[in-house]
Structure 1
């Protein structure tokens, strides 16, 4: 008799998953949520949502943290969806508003790592004056989000520290939303990048992307740039440089390439294309924000990576889609028709190519217009 090991493994996995859920439910039934253990809060692992029916749906969380020499454990707890949705939004808004201040968050984060005096906080956070600090300390003390120990040092109350960490954990999962809000604001204020309130020149987006490839060339990497116009109004710019870095940012699961393509305030003036008379330079993140869609393909480290965006918002993660010994970056984007009424002009691109060739004689430029003619 031949055994189907794959099927047996699948059955075993399903049984283990069912057993884990039963054990978890048993724990929750034996340990009801009380006022005392609600105060034993702590940073959560990824939230688990038990989806059965809308009425029975719940969020479970548990974990532990070592804080200033004390180990605080967050026993398994549950928040039913009906409880969350029935929450007093006025009070919840007050809590979020109280914490929705950068300096207050900095204070709480600082004293969580180490109890500090007022003067130490002023120096640590570069606040300048103690008056500015005590304005925030008064609000945090009054809300029972901060206590003053003997010796004048401030710290978080134990029963508040772990809910605060949970809030930071949830905020960490929403950090990318701030970039996407800025993307929307960029589209609403596109005139700042073009020096005019209307009639934006579509070619400025193309020159901004090409500028990144030229910068790679001037840094000693890559000697070829290709520009390919497509029938649907999109364009591809490709080079044989090093390829945009793909590793994750420090303390983040966001890749470097995603940060470059979504952070419109990224400080890299040399990679920004400034239109004469404009207030701000056009970075590749601005191009992404002003495009209906954008796809980036990166060739480096023996792999081909790809990620897709729509109106500047990632539609996929950074995916490994192939193997290669080549290096470089290809960006395909279609400018937003609501902002750019005209199409790319082939002859104008040819003129620009000649100017670039004169400035960078060691750089080979190839242009193709698949809808009309070649050059």
Structure 2
């Protein structure tokens, strides 16, 4: 008789409950910020990418390992050129579903360019790229004063999450950003972005809430703002269970937190007409897989940043996210859903959104996620969605940590 084995899914959940060893090392710079004695200081760099991850990434790229293809693609992109010129505007005006607006694409692309140059600097130690990231951030902090129109919070979230990653890397690893520029950029994130990404959006589609919370989490860490960080984690814990369904929720998904949607009919309408709920279904599955991808990426970004700060949100949502990864990867790969799911038809538009979540659940914990692995193999090296996901094959695919 073969020896008994713990089922893979059970083993993953058991592993997820183990104590977390927080990112960071004695070689890292001392943490910044003053906090209450009860709260540990923030670790920097610690917005999506940690110091140990950067060191491992640098070694593997230089050794010509798998990340080299992703790094080469990033460096050759238009975002990675030293000739890149920022295009700041004083007011970004973005209406829903209206392009180009005023400054909408410019703001998002410039934020991604700043993050791209910060990553190139982190790998190569070429100060020209750090200087380019600083130039782009300084250009926007000198001009931007507001976001307006209906998509203002979401636009601020897309750009703000990326700005926080870029600024965190540069301030934590590069000594050439003048204090005046750093302080002006801090004010920009605190006064222009943070108010937008902390607005309540209970009855919006859930990718809004998660994307706003992604930005708020990164900005809070960069600003050493404990109150903003704690509020972001509260929103995460409220929204994720209302967005990704598991059977333990009962016959209906949880209603959006703080909203007005709570009857079976209202929930079905909110879930785009869906009335049966398989494990891992997302609130926007029957809308399209693109928006589910946004929500999965934002969820993983928040959990990854929190992990670097010593809080394991991944463990709290493991059954939901692993089920959602497999369900949506299967349909993105081309499998036809049953008639009971979205009328037998889904819109296969998911972008490069799964690397960070897969990195944790498979790379760190060993979860068997074959559909997700197959989809990622087709997408790699993943680039950017031109919104708020960028170069995550490079930063997370090859470092199980």
> Shorter-chain TM-score: what band?
under 0.3
- Structure that is richer in strand per residue: 1
TM-score by length of structure 1 reads 0.23
Please tell me whether Structure 1 or Structure 2 has the larger radius of gyration of its CA atoms: 1
